[in-house]
Every structure is written in C-alpha cells, then in structure tokens.
Structure 1
Amino acid sequence: MSPLGTEAQQVLEAVREAVPTLRRNGMETENRRWLVDENIELLEKAGVFRAAVPERFGGLDLPVADQAEILDTISRGCASMGWVSMVWISSAWIASLYPDRAQEEVFAGGSVRVSGGFTPSGTMTPVDGGYRLNGSWRFNTGVPGAQWNIHAAMVEHPDGRHEELFALVPTEDITIADDWDAFGASGTGSATSTAKDVFVPAHRVVDASVYDAATGDRWNAEVKGRNYSLLSYILATCAPVYMGIARSALALFTERVAGKAITYTNWTDQREHPHTQITVARAANRIAACDALSRDWLRVMQERADRGEQLTVEEKATVRGQVGYVVEAAKEAVQMLFDISSASTIMRGNHFQRAFRDISALSLHGLLTPTSSLEAHGRVLLGLEPGTDYI
C-alpha cells in the first residue's frame, strides 16, 4: 500500500487524536442508541466526511486505501462511529456515480453524510419528471444524522418489466422510526426509514449499472482512479471496521492484563501463563493476516481503477471471500481474548466487552457473513459461477 497523501495523513492524525474521546463516549453512545454529538463534530472537523467527495466540490477524493485506514482508526475508538462513518463515506462515493445535476445538489457543501437502504423494499412509480417513491427500509445505518439517503426500490414498467432503481432523496423528505435497540453496534442508529409518496426527480435515480460504476451523464464517468467496482468498494470499506475493532480489543486486553492475577490459582501475573501468551499471539497473528489480505485487495482495486478497468469476476469473488475471512478471523481474535479475560470484563464500563458485542453483532450482516462470502469465493475457485450477483 502506498503511503498516505498529505491530506489523508492530516485527517488520520486528527482521527487518532479523537480515538480516546470516541472510546470514552462509548457508554453514552450505547445508551442514546445513536452517536454522541461530540463524536460527529470531531470527525467533521477532521474532514472525515469529505473523504469520498470529489475534489471539484471541495472534497478530498481519497483513494480507497486511505479511506480504509481512516475507518480502521475510527473503529478502534468506537465501532458504532466506525460503522456509521463507513456508511456515510461509501454512500457519498455512490452519489458520485449519479448524474452531474444530482452531484451538484448532494456535494454542495463539500462535506456530506449520506446513508442508504439497499434492500429493494420500496416501489417507484413513473410520473412526469421522475418517480413517486414509497416504502420502508430497515437497518438503515446512520440515517438519523444523514443529509441524504439512497433508497433501493422496484419499478414496474409499462411493458411489465420489473427493474431495481436507486433513488437519492434528502432525509427531510422521509420519516425515521425510533426502533433501533440492539445488543451490539448499538449506537449506529440503524433505524427504519419510510418514504410516502416522495417525488424523486429523474436525475436523482440510477439503475443497476451503478454496480459497475458505469452510470452515464456524469462528468467523472471516464475519470481514472476512483471508478471502483461498487460491491468490491463497499466490502473494502466495511472490512477495516472489523479490523479496527479487533485491534482495539487486543490493545485493551494487553493494557489490562499486566500484573493481573489469575483468580483461585497461584499465578500472580497472567502475562506469565503460557496459555495467555499463546492466545495473544494467535489473536495478533489473525489480525496481521487480515491486514495483509486487505492490503492486497486494496492494491488490486486501485491498480484496476488507475487503468480505467473493472475487476474481473475472479477478482471480485476474491475480495468478497477474503473480506468474509477477515470478518471471521477478526471476530475469532476478539473471542479468544474475551475467553481468557477476567470476570470484570462483563461490566458495561469496560470497553472490551463493547468491542466483543459490537463485532459479534456486525458479523451477522447479510453481505458480510463469512459463510455466504466464502461460498461465493469457493465456487469461483472451483470453476463455477459465483451463485450470487453480490460480488
């Protein structure tokens, strides 16, 4: 991976400084079931939400590897903040695939927070100048603090053909339920959003060609360097959240274990026990393996984008499978450390238990669950079709 550029390095340094605050605000974030205002403001000031905004609109337009490192670091402080930041950044990048007129509206402020409901649980009806959008989208991460939201919905054309479309609407046009109450990733505000007869102008609607970053009528359609394959890009920005949580858990464990006795034994310092030493090494090596895999797929993605090419099916399947492995391995690393932690770890004031619950919850995400991801990768390795469009 290439060294970070100057602007990315400045953002990263500001985020590193914010990590202790993000962590300190963890319990309040959970209790609110949404991000603490201070956390959002710190990252806004750092420039995080300009990361994927094109330069012509005042954004940083960072390469995906730089985005990933920033997201990893945020997640070391707060998994909920990391997950929401991932959604806001990656969805802002998706907005850069829309026609010019839509981009001018969304990116008018330079920094923008965009959320998205990508399960097509809504409908769109063609009307003069655009569409009428109706539906509800569950698990809409970050929508309480977003300025725009992307809604996946189905439209029935006059010829009877059904098509999945993606509508981009201001969040002020939708309603947000207070229905997010989860045991992990509690502060992500992944509430249900609902649109009722919302008019969406045609320039804010794109079709499934967005999956290959091939949407026309936009200034950057042929610009090299940032036209990644959509699903691979999304996966590549999700993975660092899991890695950041695992790194945080490892650091928290090693900070607390020094001088801690193993209760009801003669061991006065847990660090001296071989099982502790072996377990910590195994956890650290799992995290290091995840890091090595991520650096490889980020390199391939960037090389393809720099040449103006899309990833091959094999490369897309590799990204999905390896991200699935990262989710699995990162979760295992945290579980290993949790299993050799003292009973006080379960107290809500202990930051480690939050990392344990957060990664357990996020590992169940439908697109990222290891079983489905590894299946798609394995099928391609065996010369079969992926068995899914989501690669």
Structure 2
Amino acid sequence: MIRLGAEAQNILDAVRDAVPALRRNGVETEQRRWIVDENIELLEKAGVFRMAVPERFGGLDLPVAEQAEILASISRGCASTGWVSMVWVSSAWIASLYPDRAQKEVFADGSVRVSGGFTPSGTLTPVEDGYRLNGSWRFNTGVPGAQWNVYAAVVEHADGRHEELFALVPAEDITVADDWDVFGAAGTGSATSTAKDVFVPTHRVVDTSVYDASTGDRWNAEVKGRNYNLLSYILATCAPVYLGVARSALGLFTERAAGKPITYTNWTDQREHPHTQITVGRVASQIAACEALSENWLRVIQERADRGQKMTVEEKAAVRGQVGYVVEATKAAVQMLYDISSASTIVRSNHFQRAFRDIAALSLHGLLAPTGSLEAHGRVLLGLEPGTDYI
C-alpha cells in the first residue's frame, strides 16, 4: 500500500471528488475528440499539473509512486483524461532534464502542460545559436491543450553523422491538424502536429544522454530522489491508466449487476449466478495482482533514485515486461466483464462500454504493447541482450 505525503493526499482527495464529473463528461469528451474544459480546470485546481514540476519553480516534485496513484484515480473517471494527464505530467518531468535556462521558461508558472512527439519524424538543421525544426508528429497526445511540446528529430552533422535530438517548443510555434477520429481513447486529442521552420535555441535541445540517469551530461546527474531512468519512469506513469480503467470497469459492472436479470433465463439477479461470481472474483484478483506488481517496480525505481544509482538491465527489463503484462491482464479483465454483460452495455451513455473501448485502444500503444515488452523481458531472463534500446 502506497503511503502518500500530505500534498499528494490533498491532490488525490480532490481528484476523487472530481471522478463523477470526469465520468459524466465522458460522452461529450468523445464527441469533441478532446477532453472538456471542466476536466482540465478541475485537475488544474487540484494541482495535478504541478506534480512533476521541480520545487524551485513552485512545483510539488512528487515521487513517482505518488504521481502513479493520482493518475490511476483520474483514469477511474475518464481514461482519455487520465492518458492526457499522464502525458502532460511525464513530459513535464522530461522538461526538468533540460538546462536551467529552458526550465525557467517552461516552468515559469509552476504548473505546466507538456506534450511530446517521440518518434523522430522531424529534422533539425543547425543555424546560429540553435536549430531550425521541420516535421510532423502523429499521435501527439494532449497537443490541443499543451503549452509546450518535446519533439524527437534527427540532425545531420557536417561530417555526415546523424543524431537524434529532442527539441522543446512552445505550443504557439506549431500547427495542429484535425485528424484524430478513433474508436477508443477518443478524447485524448492525439492529433498530428507540425513544425515548419521553427527556430529552437540551443538551450532547448538535448540529446539521448537524457535517457541515462547516470550520465554526467544531465544537469541533475547528482541529484537524489527524482533522477529516474527515463524509460522506466515513463512506463511507470503509463501503467496506472490501465489499472484505473480496469478498476473503474469492475466498479461499474458490480453496480449494474444488482437485481439485473439474465435475459431468456430464470435468473432474476445476475449476482446469484455462479459464473458471475467466479468471473468477478477472478477479475478482482487479476487487477489486485497487477497493482502489486506496480508497487514493486515503483519501489525499485524510487530506491535506485534515492541512492543515486543506475538501474540494472535486469531491473529495467522487468519494468518493461511487467508493464506489458499489466496492459495485457487489465485488458483481459475488462474483456471478461464485458463478455458477461447485457446487450444494453453497448449504449453510448453506458460508461462501461467506453472503458472497454478505451483500454482496447490503449493496449495497442507501441511502447506498451505486451508482445514487444514481454519479449524484451524474456530475452534478459534468458541471458540475452534485450534486443531494444527502449528499456
């Protein structure tokens, strides 16, 4: 059981109070293909977008386990809002890896919403005091409401060498397409964003050394407590969304089951059927097992950061693989409940069907898809190289 500090508990209490409103706004969020303003305002007021901002800029700088607990609670109300919040919070933490000058710009207000396009589908051309950025990034979650964006892009050096860099760009410098129209996670606004000849000063560009918490090139390499391994941190903040959606689905199912007959049978209360009882018990245990896995990797990530140590390959691969398992297991849990639901479940006003579609859609995310994640973990367990840089 994660014990929260006072600041995190205050945010969690406010988020829990907001869950009914987040859920109620689900239909409009889907129709708009973007989370409604009330959701953002409720979370802003709660302090969610200050969670990963360094304290020296007026942020809360919460440990990853406290961030995860809050993100899971948001996702119990609305998966799209939870996913967008996760991206904004985790990308704000990424911004904390940039030089102080960039951080002062990004964190000027103490609360910030940062999105990112992490597929290197852009180019950076060196110019005086910086670069010119060009490119388009698909699936840029949260970009309609972001204030800054992190973009992966490739630069070609004079010697012909290619290098992947990450440019930090204010939202007003980009354009956003109206091309997000999907069956699940529909409110995430994960549209295509484009930069055309955008100047990015040198202090807002970093290289892949930010991936490694042990590197001396990272400004906070000697800072204890929040200097997480980048990929492990990202994965650890993604998983709570799936856990929150699965918990929501279980609650929604059990609420509706009371006194509900099983059509074309003599069962007048679905709760009395043994198959319903067994399924609900199995689902509850499956979710609880996933939550226990989460608590374990959150502990490992934090302990390494507290000691100023680099995570081992085995630890990083375990996080990648176990998060993939959580994605697989939570999706399966929701599917089990869906399979014993009544036909009225498909009505759009029914919140359960949205949770079902949302977790199905989010399970396809490239970094989180179970197959690749479990493969990387299994390779390391078998004494092989992970076969991917993304651990």
Judge conservation of contact 1:97–1:213 (CA < 8 Å) in 2.
no
Residue in 2 that maps onto 1:75:
75
CA distance in 2, matches of 1:16, 1:249: 16
Tell me the secondary structure at the aligned position of residue 111 of structure 1. coil
Residue in 2 that maps onto 1:29:
29
CA distance in 2, matches of 1:332, 1:163: 40
Q: Give the aligned residue type for 2:359.
A: I
Tell me the secondary structure at the aligned position of residue 228 of structure 1. coil
Q: Is 1:378 the equivalent of 2:383?
A: no
Q: What is the aligned-residue identity percentage? A: 85
The Cα of 1:361 is off from its aligned counterpart by 0.1
CA distance in 2, matches of 1:366, 1:135: 20
The Cα of 1:2 is off from its aligned counterpart by 4.5
Q: Normalising by structure 2, report the TM-score.
A: 0.99
CA distance in 1, matches of 2:325, 2:6: 32
Judge conservation of contact 1:97–1:215 (CA < 8 Å) in 2.
no
Residue in 2 that maps onto 1:53:
53
Residue in 2 that maps onto 1:133:
133
Q: Judging changes above 3 Å, is the alpha-carbon distance between structure 1 residues 356 and 2 closer, same or farther for their aligned structure 2 residues?
A: closer
The Cα of 1:216 is off from its aligned counterpart by 5.8
Q: Give the aligned residue type for 1:21.
A: A
Tell me the secondary structure at the aligned position of residue 251 of structure 1. helix
CA distance in 2, matches of 1:22, 1:44: 13
Q: Give the aligned residue type for 2:266.
A: N
Residues 147-183 of structure 1 deviation map (CA, whole Å, 9 limit, x = unaligned): 0000000001111111000000001000000100010
Tell me the secondary structure at the aligned position of residue 275 of structure 1. helix
Residues 300-349 of structure 1 deviation map (CA, whole Å, 9 limit, x = unaligned): 00000000012110000000000000000000000000000000000000
CA distance in 2, matches of 1:215, 1:268: 64
Tell me the secondary structure at the aligned position of residue 193 of structure 1. strand
CA distance in 2, matches of 1:2, 1:27: 32
Residue in 2 that maps onto 1:109:
109
CA distance in 1, matches of 2:231, 2:2: 23
Q: Give the aligned residue type for 1:15.
A: V
Residue in 1 that maps onto 2:324:
324
CA distance in 2, matches of 1:24, 1:327: 25
CA distance in 1, matches of 2:218, 2:292: 35
Q: Is 1:190 the equivalent of 2:200?
A: no
Tell me the secondary structure at the aligned position of residue 12 of structure 2. helix
Q: Judging changes above 3 Å, is the alpha-carbon distance between structure 1 residues 142 and 371 closer, same or farther for their aligned structure 2 residues?
A: same
In structure 2, list runs of 5 or more residues that go unmatched: none
The Cα of 1:215 is off from its aligned counterpart by 6.5
CA distance in 2, matches of 1:97, 1:215: 12
Residue in 2 that maps onto 1:306:
306
Tell me the secondary structure at the aligned position of residue 159 of structure 2. coil
Residue in 2 that maps onto 1:350:
350
Residue in 1 that maps onto 2:268:
268
Q: Judging changes above 3 Å, is the alpha-carbon distance between structure 1 residues 159 and 146 closer, same or farther for their aligned structure 2 residues?
A: same
CA distance in 2, matches of 1:218, 1:361: 35
Q: Give the aligned residue type for 2:234.
A: I
The Cα of 1:221 is off from its aligned counterpart by 3.2
| 1:325-340 matches, cutoff 5 A | 325-340=325-340
CA distance in 1, matches of 2:208, 2:362: 26
Residue in 1 that maps onto 2:86:
86
CA distance in 2, matches of 1:104, 1:243: 34
Residues 224-248 of structure 1 deviation map (CA, whole Å, 9 limit, x = unaligned): 0000000000000000000000000
Tell me the secondary structure at the aligned position of residue 262 of structure 2. coil
Q: Give the aligned residue type for 2:281.
A: A
Q: Give the aligned residue type for 2:261.
A: A
The Cα of 1:217 is off from its aligned counterpart by 6.9
CA distance in 2, matches of 1:106, 1:117: 17
CA distance in 2, matches of 1:257, 1:122: 50
Residue in 2 that maps onto 1:4:
4
Tell me the secondary structure at the aligned position of residue 226 of structure 1. coil
Q: Normalising by structure 1, report the TM-score.
A: 0.99
Tell me the secondary structure at the aligned position of residue 155 of structure 2. strand
Judge conservation of contact 2:214–2:310 (CA < 8 Å) in 1.
no
Q: Judging changes above 3 Å, is the alpha-carbon distance between structure 1 residues 23 and 42 closer, same or farther for their aligned structure 2 residues?
A: same
Judge conservation of contact 2:210–2:218 (CA < 8 Å) in 1.
no
Residue in 2 that maps onto 1:389:
389
CA distance in 1, matches of 2:94, 2:130: 20
In structure 1, list runs of 5 or more residues that go unmatched: none
Q: Give the aligned residue type for 1:153.
A: A
CA distance in 2, matches of 1:286, 1:390: 26
| 1:241-320 matches, cutoff 5 A | 241-320=241-320
Runs of at least 4 residues off by over 4 Å: 214-219
Q: Give the aligned residue type for 2:250.
A: L
The Cα of 1:223 is off from its aligned counterpart by 1.1
Tell me the secondary structure at the aligned position of residue 194 of structure 1. strand
CA distance in 2, matches of 1:41, 1:257: 33
The Cα of 1:120 is off from its aligned counterpart by 0.1
CA distance in 1, matches of 2:300, 2:218: 25
CA distance in 1, matches of 2:12, 2:377: 32
